[in-house]
Structure formats: structure tokens, C-alpha cells
Chains A and B, each alone.
Chain A
Amino acid sequence: MKMLINVPETVVADALRGMAAAHPELTVDVENRVIVRRDAPVAGKVALVSGGGSGHEPLHGGFVGPGMLSAACPGEVFTSPVPDQMVRAAAAVDSGAGVLFVVKNYTGDVLNFDMAAELAADEGIQVAKVLVNDDVAVTDSLYTAGRRGTGGTLFVEKIAGAAADEGRSLEQVRSVAQQVNDSSRSFGVALGACTTPAKGSPTFDLPPGELELGVGIHGEPGRERRPMMTSGEIADFAVEAVLEDLDPRNPVLVLVNGMGATPLLELYGFNAEVQRVLTARGVSVARTLVGNYVTSLDMAGASVTLCEIDEELLRLWDAPVRTAGLRWGV
């Protein structure tokens, strides 16, 4: 597999150097792998720190900036960052109002953020945590590591970031983040596997003419393989899977998310099908976001995330945001 890289070992550092060059509004510590908004710490405001394995860009580094994250910690490709990064990030952004860790529910992320929370507390930083676990494809949570954090992470980071921007307390920001997570559900499909730089070949074999239903964002296979379906059939399947678990009485935010290698032309076409299913099911859509936001390297495919909202959450969603990956109202 050809890749636009130098050597696999420096992929993350190279990307961080490029980010630093492109975004002077960010402080990028390439050596310690921490991306911080340049004006941090912001006096009196709760700070949001997230992080995770690299390969999901723009998540999380592309969501650092006013109205969203205060800092992000990129790990190796598909590997959780280490506690040292998170402690460094927390220390850089804490204004004294406390820090919320936004953690996707994967064993590695949870363990490392928990260790970091202990270390940060030792340094006198007040830390709270929200765990994002929106992926309905993981059904048997009792006998697995539990539901994964995927597209819902974007909703949590945006809305909690807006809440923090309003000057709310750490407990209030954590509570909003929890509410958004509890109201979000996702389902993803892959039309092709992804290739990690370290391995250089696809992480699983997907024959032509087949697709994986219920994939995560780490190149892991899904729960079920079927003969290839049309965009409309995939939308039926994915939206039904989400609605089996979420029965929205209120309007929803929709994220039609590309996994990395699916063109926007196809994603918009897929969104049309998603909206068709939602309309047929009587679900009212407040806002829709289409694009590559929570990706899985060069995986082909898409995920659908719905987040049931009230007027307050919609107001926070619409609030200004200025990051590399998400930007409006400013």
C-alpha cells in the first residue's frame, strides 16, 4: 500500500509538525504530543481535554479551539496516549476552574486517562471525566469491553465545550457532557478495511462485493458481513440499528460521518437516504453535519450518529466554534 509518509515511525510527529505550521492559533508540542489552544488557560473557564489514538483526524486535535476542546493528546496510530501527555495537557489548560477529560470507551483510553486523573489530582488539578460510549453495534456489553466511543464524541466535545465557554462549573459541564453522551447513538459500516502505517497492509480482508456492518474506528472487523448493499439499504440498516436503541421524542442532531476514504459525493447521497428513513420514522431533524470527522485512516465507509436534543442543547450546538475541523458562528 502506497502512503504519503516518510517512515511509519514518524507519522504522528510529522503530522503534528504540519499542524503547527498550519495553525498558529494552536500550541503544538511535537515532542510531548500535546495540542493546546494558544490562549489557554482561559481565566475562570473549565477546560476540556481529550485524546486518543491517532488515525481519527480531525478528532481530537482538529477540535481544539474556542468553543470546543482546550487541549488534545494524540497517541500512536490507534493506540491510546499515555498518562504523561494528559497530565501535561491538564496542567497547561487548567485555569483553576477544573478540567473535564472526554474519554472514548476503549480499555486503553480508560486506563490511561484514569491514571492521568490520579496524577493530575496529585498536582492539585480538579479533574472530572465523561466516558463516551455511543456505538450500538456492540450489543453484549456484559461480556465485552462495553460500547465504543465513536461519532457521538463530536457532539459531546462541541456541546460541552460551548457549556464551558459560558463559564459553567466543572460539575455542570460534566453533566451536560454526560447528557449528550446518554442521548447519542451511532452505527458504522465499512466497505473496505484500513491500512495502518506500521503494518502497511489492510487490517482485515473484505472481499469485493461484501461489506462489514457494525464496525468501529480502529480497523477492527465488525460484527457481521453481508453482500454489498445500496446506499439506501445501508441507511435503512444503520438508522434502524440506532433507533432500536434510541426512541427520540425530541428533534435530533444528525452526523453522517465518513470513515476516511469515502468521497463527500457518496456521503451526501447517503445522507439523503438517512434523512428519508428518519422522515419515514417520524424523527424530526434539527441540524445535520456531513463530512469526515471521526475517521479510521483510509477506511471506506460511513457511520450515522443521532443525538436527541432539547432547546438548551441545540443552543449550545449552535454556539460559535473556531477549530481546525469545525468552525461556525465566528
Chain B
Amino acid sequence: MLDADFFRRWMTATAVSVGHEAERLTALDSPIGDADHGSNLRRGFNAVATAVEEEAPATPGTVLVLAGSRLISTVGGASGPLYGTLLRRTGKALGEAAEVSAEQFTDALRIGVDAVRALGGAAPGDKTMIDALVPAVDALAESFAAARTAAEQGALATTPLQARKGRASYLGERSIGHQDPGATSAALLIATLAETAGE
């Protein structure tokens, strides 16, 4: 079973991971975006780590709702509302339980991912974070480790795609040949989830 501490550790680990990878995310965002994905997410997840530590929410749901709200209030751009909605909706779907099973979390995360799709209007293959998140949720039924692998493969598979959503879409065919920074950061989020679960 996964408790509030698990989700707090997930958020803290994500802040550390995003901090380490910020320059790489920003570098990926340069040729097809505006070179700030890493610095924006680092600012957001640092705020999340501080908030979950200071406010110590007591249930899995409240941890993720707080984290999502902090992202919306601090990141800006498209990433803020999209990642914020992912965590908020996942957290709301977890309800008020003190502990949740991996199956319950998988169902909740699917609701969160669906909310991101509805908000941003992106479908798989549009070269966005969805390309890492959808395969991750599908693989989560198997294991956290499988979700991590699926997310990483999903992110890598965005390279040959032409972007249809977000700022990279303005480049048309020139967006082909670059790995999507949003899919890459989404894979980081899933990787730290697997790490937190000890997988």
C-alpha cells in the first residue's frame, strides 16, 4: 500500500531529479521551443518540495492536490497548468484514503492523464508529454519499473514525430528529429515514481 509519505517522497525526489536534469531539459527545449523548460520545472518542483514538507499533507490525495496547486501557481507557461492538472486530478481521484493500492493509484493516474489530454487537446503522437504518460499508465498495471521503461521509450519515440501541439508545432516539419522536452520531463516524473517505489 502507498501512504502519504510515499507521495511526499515522490515529489521530493522529483524536485531533486528535475534539478539535476534542468539543463538537459532546457537544451532539448532550445531547438524546438524557447529554452526554459528545465528552469521553469525546477522552480515549480522546488516550490512543491517546500510545500509538501512544510504543510505535511496527511493523505496521498492531499499531497498530490497540494503539489498540483503549487505547480499551477509557480510554473506558468503550458507546463504549469498541464503538470498541475495531472497531479491535482490524480490526487482528487485518490479521495481521502490514508493509503491506496497500486491499482487504485493506476486508476487515479489514468484520470489525471485524461484530464491533461482534455485540457491541452493533445493525442498520442502529437509530440507532447502525453507520449510518455499514456504508455506509462498502460504499463503501470504490470509494475512501476515497467511504467518507467514505457515512459522513457515513449519520450525517445517522440524524436521522429512532427509536433502538432505547443510551441514546437509552429516549426512544422522542422520539429522532426528532436526529442520532445515535455515527454522527457514526464518520463523523469515516472522514473522518480519507480525509484520511490524501490523499483
Taking Cβ atoms with an 8 Å cutoff, the residues of A that contact B are: 53, 75-84, 106-108, 111-112, 115, 137-138, 140, 143-145, 148, 196, 198-199, 203-204, 216, 218-221, 223
Q: Find out whether the CB atom of A112 lies under 8 angstroms from the CB atom of B81.
A: yes
Taking a contact as CB atoms closer than 8 A, the residue among B35, B79, B171 that contacts A108 in the complex is B79
For residue B75, which residues in chain A have a CB less than 8 angstroms away from its CB?
A: 79, 82
- The total of chain B residues at the interface (CB under 8 A) is 35
Q: Find out whether the CB atom of A76 lies under 8 angstroms from the CB atom of B171.
A: no
For residue B119, which residues in chain A have a CB less than 8 angstroms away from its CB?
A: 111
Q: Find out whether the CB atom of B78 lies under 8 angstroms from the CB atom of A108.
A: yes
Taking Cβ atoms with an 8 Å cutoff, the residues of B that contact A are: 26, 30-36, 39-40, 43, 72-82, 119-120, 162-167, 169-172, 174
Q: Find out whether the CB atom of A76 lies under 8 angstroms from the CB atom of B36.
A: yes
For residue A108, which residues in chain B have a CB less than 8 angstroms away from its CB?
A: 76-81
Taking a contact as CB atoms closer than 8 A, the residue among B30, B74, B82, B170 that contacts A145 in the complex is B170
Given A138-B170, A144-B164, are A203 and B35 also a contact pair (CB < 8 Å)?
yes
Most buried by B among A144, A196, A198: A144
Q: Find out whether the CB atom of B35 lies under 8 angstroms from the CB atom of A79.
A: no
> Measured between C-beta atoms, what is the minimum distance from B75 to chain A in Å?
7
A-B contact count (CB 8 A): 111
For residue A140, which residues in chain B have a CB less than 8 angstroms away from its CB?
A: 172
Taking a contact as CB atoms closer than 8 A, the residue among A80, A83, A204 that contacts B30 in the complex is A204
For the complex with contacts A76-B40, A107-B165, A111-B78, 11 further pairs of A-B residues with Cβ separation under 8 Å are: A75-B76, A76-B77, A79-B40, A81-B76, A82-B73, A107-B166, A112-B80, A115-B81, A140-B172, A196-B35, A218-B167
For residue A220, which residues in chain B have a CB less than 8 angstroms away from its CB?
A: 32-34, 167, 170-171
Q: Find out whether the CB atom of A148 lies under 8 angstroms from the CB atom of B170.
A: yes
Q: Find out whether the CB atom of B170 lies under 8 angstroms from the CB atom of A216.
A: yes
For residue B163, which residues in chain A have a CB less than 8 angstroms away from its CB?
A: 144
For residue A80, which residues in chain B have a CB less than 8 angstroms away from its CB?
A: 76-78, 80
For residue A204, which residues in chain B have a CB less than 8 angstroms away from its CB?
A: 30-31
For residue B31, which residues in chain A have a CB less than 8 angstroms away from its CB?
A: 204, 221
The CA of A82 and the CA of B77, in the complex, are separated in Å by: 8
Q: Find out whether the CB atom of A111 lies under 8 angstroms from the CB atom of B82.
A: yes
